């Protein structure tokens, strides 16, 4: 569904609602994965990215299972856990336990190998997002940081960002100066304003919200906003947790 309107600062605004049920899915005996964009064998030439966002996977991994060691290159990979915990290990010697309220970023750079395992006794649900970095062949690196206390404010908290104004305030830094991820845990009926930016991607991780001028969105629904004008987002009666990407550019071709 598309919604259009007039933007006070950026011009015409367009909002595309992407229902959860319309996502590609991969289901095996241990994995349920829902892809917002073309991924693996799922190809839609009209749905390969949005702004700088290349991958947005909503995944549930069964206990005692997970992804074996595999490679990545030239990606900024951000993982946000919603339930359970995930063990990360990589070829640079990094190891981390990722759980709700902890921001994690892996910069694949010129090449890295990692695994992601669920060693706990319950399923883990997390969202993994990939964005294009500023340039290729950067040194690979890893970072994680606790943010649970900051989320109690109910505001949009910069979780993983390369935006200049977030230097020193984002939980973890990504190598992309035109993109930043916010998370908000909204109390019932609470309201926040989305960023003003050329591209804004909204994902309702938990609960339900109403997006000004576009209507209601439930768990795992998304909205892609072009020339976003700062419209309001209001949580439903049970509150909500939302992931919001602010992007000031789109994909670049590297020489």
Q: What is the pLDDT of residues 138-191, one digit of tens each?
A: 999 999 999 999 999 999 999 999 999 999 999 999 999 999 999 999 999 999
Report the CATH number at residue 237.
Answer: 2.60.120.10
Q: Residue 12 has what pLDDT?
A: 86
Question: For position 96, what pLDDT does the model report?
Answer: 94
Q: Are 18 and 9 in contact (CB under 8 A)?
A: no
| Distance from C-alpha of 159 to C-alpha of 243, rounded to nearest angstrom | 9
Mean pLDDT, residues 216-230: 98
Name the residue range of residue 188's domain. 2-247
User: Is residue 224, in this structure, part of any structural domain at all?
Assistant: yes
> Tell me: the pLDDT tens digits for 85-114?
999 999 999 999 999 999 999 999 999 999
Residue 130: inside a domain, yes or no? yes
User: Is residue 80, in this structure, part of any structural domain at all?
Assistant: yes
How do beta strands 141-146 and 102-107 pair? antiparallel
The answer to whether residue 7 sits within a structural domain is yes
CA distances from 237 to 88, 153, 186, 240, 246 (A): 35, 18, 10, 9, 26
Residue 253 lies in a domain: no
The pLDDT score that the predictor gives to residue 4 is 46
Which pTM value belongs to this model? 0.95
- Distance (Å, rounded) from C-alpha 98 to C-alpha 146? 10
Q: What angle do CA 21, 25, 26 make, to 5 degrees?
A: 160
190 within 8 A of 239, measured Cβ to Cβ: yes
Do the domain assignments include residue 186? Answer: yes
Q: Number of structural domains, the chain? A: 1
Whether the pLDDT of residue 70 is over 90: the answer is: yes
Asked if the structure places residue 222 within a domain, the reply is: yes
Q: Which among 184, 242, 231, 174 has a CA at the least distance from the CA of 208? A: 242
The CA distance from 30 to 185, in Å, is 29
Note the pLDDT of residue 254: 83
CB atoms within 10 A of CB 93: 7
42-52 pLDDT, tens digit each: 999 999 999 99
Which residues are paired to 172 by β-bridges?
160
Confirm whether 254 is domain-assigned. Answer: no
Residue 34 reports pLDDT greater than 90: yes
């Amino acid at each position: 569904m598309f919604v259009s309107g007039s933007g006070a600062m950026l011009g015409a605004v367009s909002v595309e609602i992407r229902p959860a049920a319309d996502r590609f899915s991969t289901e095996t005996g241990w994995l349920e994965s829902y892809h917002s964009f073309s991924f693996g064998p799922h190809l839609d030439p009209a749905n390969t990215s949005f702004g700088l966002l290349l991958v947005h996977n909503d995944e549930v991994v069964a206990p005692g299972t997970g992804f074996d060691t595999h490679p990545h290159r030239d990606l900024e990979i951000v993982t946000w856990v919603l339930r359970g915990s995930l063990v990360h290990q990589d070829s640079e010697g990094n190891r981390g336990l990722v759980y709700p309220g902890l921001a994690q970023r892996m910069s694949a750079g010129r090449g890295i190998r990692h695994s992601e395992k669920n060693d706990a006794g319950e399923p883990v649900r997390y969202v993994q997002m990939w964005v294009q970095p500023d340039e290729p062949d950067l040194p690979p690196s890893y970072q994680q940081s606790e943010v649970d206390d900051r989320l109690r404010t109910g505001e949009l908290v910069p979780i993983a960002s390369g935006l200049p104004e977030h230097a020193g305030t984002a939980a973890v830094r990504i190598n992309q100066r035109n993109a930043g991820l916010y998370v908000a845990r909204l109390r019932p009926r609470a309201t926040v304003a989305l960023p003003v930016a050329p591209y804004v991607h909204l994902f309702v991780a938990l609960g339900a919200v109403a997006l000004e001028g576009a209507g209601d969105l439930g768990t795992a629904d998304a909205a892609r906003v072009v020339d976003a004008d700062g419209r309001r987002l209001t949580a439903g009666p049970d509150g909500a947790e939302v992931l919001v990407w602010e992007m000031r550019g789109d994909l670049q071709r590297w020489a």
